[in-house]
Structure 1
């Protein structure tokens, strides 16, 4: 029986910030520790968990990866997260460290609070909350409001709803962090990265270390072993939803899966996805497609106009070569138009 509490690391960050890439890098570099992984998806179709299971890293085995693909983890704490944690703790050979990758729309604070649940309080601790920031996206102003522009819009049309839920989620993720990773700095200049670090520091309520990264390459010793005890430090982690008690809504966001027929030209598909993203304000696209005359399936990731894709593995003989893309956007997005556009 283990006398010390098992540490858990929460990896937070907005859509497409690079959480799964960071997690894979950590698994590749951490070979002397038995780690369990909980992957949360926003939507019903698991994707990131499958990436990890197929990554070829010894620690990324199916038994050590638990997928929660039925919604935002911070909204399903009692129904799904706590039973999952209890099951890991009750294993005959429990993990030495647990890493939790939240969905891009999850609020970290309700999840941190869950570690005060009586059944796990004495057996686990939040070693640290690590928040990834997509440097090019933030540099483009995706999560920063222009107060003057908002004021002008409100004056022109008082009936408009000017709340920016995306910015609130982003700020909540920053304010809960024990470590902030400014990711994808290879896509911006060093001067821009330095300015972003200064801007982020101004938004958070306490001094938090901000480190820079490209492609999620971080020494595990920096990420695992923070010893924050975050569940006992909730007051220093303000949230926009503190006044709402345990309940909050994510009605501003929706996700759905689009079946995609066999594709001849990957680049043509990406150009179509970029056009759809611009037309329908899509936040995130990820999934797999079947490319004509190719024995391997194509894995696609997209945030804004930035897309990358690669062949990840051979199609198995026992599986249908179906293409599926997960689309995440704001509530009210025209799902039918997107689905129809991707059928041709």
Structure 2
């Protein structure tokens, strides 16, 4: 029977990085993973990055709805259509605001008999755990029915902080195994049992945020990326984008995490939806994105002239 592993966690905790590592390790051990990614806006941007590891037909992007509710039927139907493989495993990344408890209660209903009951892995950012103000309840919800909790962003974290986070996690989910990213044993993950922890129900509306996207023109230089990210208000918790820089024919991907950190890296191939700027969080409006883009372009065009 084939295991289904869902990866959940708050925005910016490192879910996609973990998923990439799992995918690579499973491939190296002779497994045949199928990867599904969910996001409010253009999940294709993240999905295309997996084509460096596996064939495009083994990656599926689900955009525009949340798989913990409105998108659950689409997710379930797609999982049931995944081809049978020897040593197959299905890896699903939920968007960063998913109601993880609802996702697990709904996903396992109606799956084909060839699949094992879904297992959930939560990713926890140790540095920012329960420092998210009004979003703390959503963050804690995302660990309550997980069988395994993976700690990230542990670099230079004091031992006192690490121990506090672990104790706090155990209050919400005393049954889960808690490990650092580098301690994952991929051979044991498919053998995990579904969580039997009693979860506290979340007001489902707290898992639904505004999101939007805007076309992104070629940018004259990398500084434009930082200007755009800095111009968008902190209420917008996640910023993603992909475009060409200067005369470079290859595309560049960038993102701003909830703590304000901006990272830039090469993009694999050409984005199938074209160059885009995407945001998730209160205040996400196309006019806001377009204004940030225009101000940045005006600034750098004036400098170049």
Specify the TM-score bucket, using the shorter chain as the normaliser. 0.7 to 0.9
1:341 aligns with 292
Counterpart Cα distance in 2 of 1:128 and 1:252: 23
Does residue 107 of the first structure (1) align with residue 99 of the second (2)?
yes
* Distance (whole Å) between structure 1 residues aligned to residue 164 and residue 149 of structure 2: 15
Look up the match of 1:177: 146
Superimposed CA distance per residue, residues 191-226 of structure 1 (whole angstroms, 9 cap, x where no aligned partner):
433332223223x1423222223xxx5534276234
1:197 to 160, 163, 166: 166
Going from structure 1 to structure 2, the CA distance change for 1:337 and 1:93 (only over 3 Å counts) comes to closer
1:8-45 CA-partner distances (Å, limit 9, x unpaired): 11100111111111111111111311221111112355
State which of 243, 255, 260 in structure 2 corresponds to 1:305. Answer: 260
Specify the alignment match of 2:239 in structure 1.
285
Task: Kindly state the Cα deviation for residue 251 of structure 1 after the two structures are TM-superposed.
Answer: 7.4
Give the 3 Å change call, closer, same or farther, for CA 309–272 of structure 1 in structure 2. Answer: same
Structure 2 residue 117 is the aligned partner of structure 1 residue 126: yes
Q: 1:92 to 1:98 in 2, by over 3 A?
A: closer
CA-atom RMSD, angstroms? 2.7
Structure 1 gap ranges (5+): 146-163
> What residue in structure 2 maps to residue 153 of structure 1?
none
CA pair 78-333 structure 1, distance change in 2 beyond 3 A: closer
Aligned residues of 1:130 and 1:180 also touching (Cα < 8 A): yes
Choose from 204, 220, 231 the match for 1:264: 220
Runs of at least 5 residues in structure 2 that lack an aligned partner in the other structure: 298-305
Q: TM-score, normalised by structure 2?
A: 0.84
Structure 2 counterpart of 1:72: 66
User: 126, 136, 148: which is aligned to 2:127?
Assistant: 136
Aligned with 2:210 (options 251, 254, 263): 254
Aligned residue number for residue 302 of structure 2: none
User: 1:119–1:273: structure 2 CA closer, same or farther, 3 Å change rule?
Assistant: closer
Q: Could you tell me which residue of structure 1 aligns to residue 155 of structure 2? A: 186
Residues 77 and 276 of structure 1, relative CA distance in 2, 3 Å threshold: closer
Give aligned pairs, total: 292
Paired with 2:177 and 2:111, the residues of 1 have a C-alpha distance of 32
- How much does 1:183 deviate? 0.7
Measure how far apart 1:66 and its partner are: 1.7
